[in-house]
């Protein structure tokens, strides 16, 4: 079930969204790159990403949930689950 939900949300769309927000080439936003450590995403940039994800996928994200956004693959699973239950 979770695989189907994950498939419905395209990881490359999220990759492009993150790359645009943090002004990096998409290829640098790899699935497992550590957002804070490798891509220098600070809490404000993470907030920007969260606001854009909310808009794109019509979901609600709690402030506490943003701190769990450690990599693209984690965000992808998170969004897929939200969209699936939303």
Is 50 a binding residue for another protein by CB under 8 A? The answer is yes
Is the CB of 13 or the CB of 56 nearer to another protein?
56
Report, in Å, the least distance between residue 1 CB and another protein: 25
Report, in Å, the least distance between residue 8 CB and another protein: 20
Is 42 a binding residue for another protein by CB under 8 A? The answer is yes
Helix axis angle for 11-22 and 43-57, nearest 10°, is 140
Report, in Å, the least distance between residue 31 CB and another protein: 23
Is the CB of 4 or the CB of 85 nearer to another protein?
85
How far apart CA 8 and CA 27 sit, in angstroms, is 22
């Amino acid at each position: 079930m979770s695989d189907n939900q994950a498939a419905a949300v395209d990881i490359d769309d999220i990759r492009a969204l993150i790359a645009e927000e943090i002004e990096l080439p998409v290829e640098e936003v790899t699935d497992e790159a550590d957002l804070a450590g490798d891509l220098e995403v600070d809490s404000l940039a993470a907030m920007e990403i969260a606001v854009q994800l909310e808009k794109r996928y019509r979901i609600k994200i709690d402030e506490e949930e943003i701190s769990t956004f450690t990599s693209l693959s984690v965000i992808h699973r998170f969004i897929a689950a939200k969209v699936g239950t939303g």
